[in-house]
Amino acid sequence: MKRIRKGDTVKVIAGSLKGIEAEVERVDGNKVYLKGQKTVERHYRSNMFAQGGKREIQLPIDISNVALVVDGKTTKVAYKTTAEGKVRIAKSNGKEIK
């Protein structure tokens, strides 16, 4: 179970985007893609299947460089086993993370 999931609000704690809060668009292994952040333009050559030109792509951020935000504060994540299964708990305030 990953500590950060799609739809979570995170704060970038290291790198060129330090201090920015954004929503997680997708998680791919140890990489996180944030909505509206780190978009760059790439030039593609045309081939049989696709026309060439410029396309915007999104670059990932390492998962270790972001922290989960709960109630406006960054927090670490703990786990608790309940009757429904394993749930994520915010260490800062002890609330369950949806």
Averages of pLDDT over runs of 10 residues in the chain (98 residues) are: 91 95 96 96 96 96 96 94 92 90
Q: Domain spans of the chain?
A: 9-70
Predicted local confidence at residue 20, as pLDDT:
96
Cα torsion through 20, 74, 3, 94, rounded to 10? -160
pTM assigned to the model = 0.83
Task: Specify whether the CB–CB gap between 70 and 90 falls below 8 A.
Answer: yes
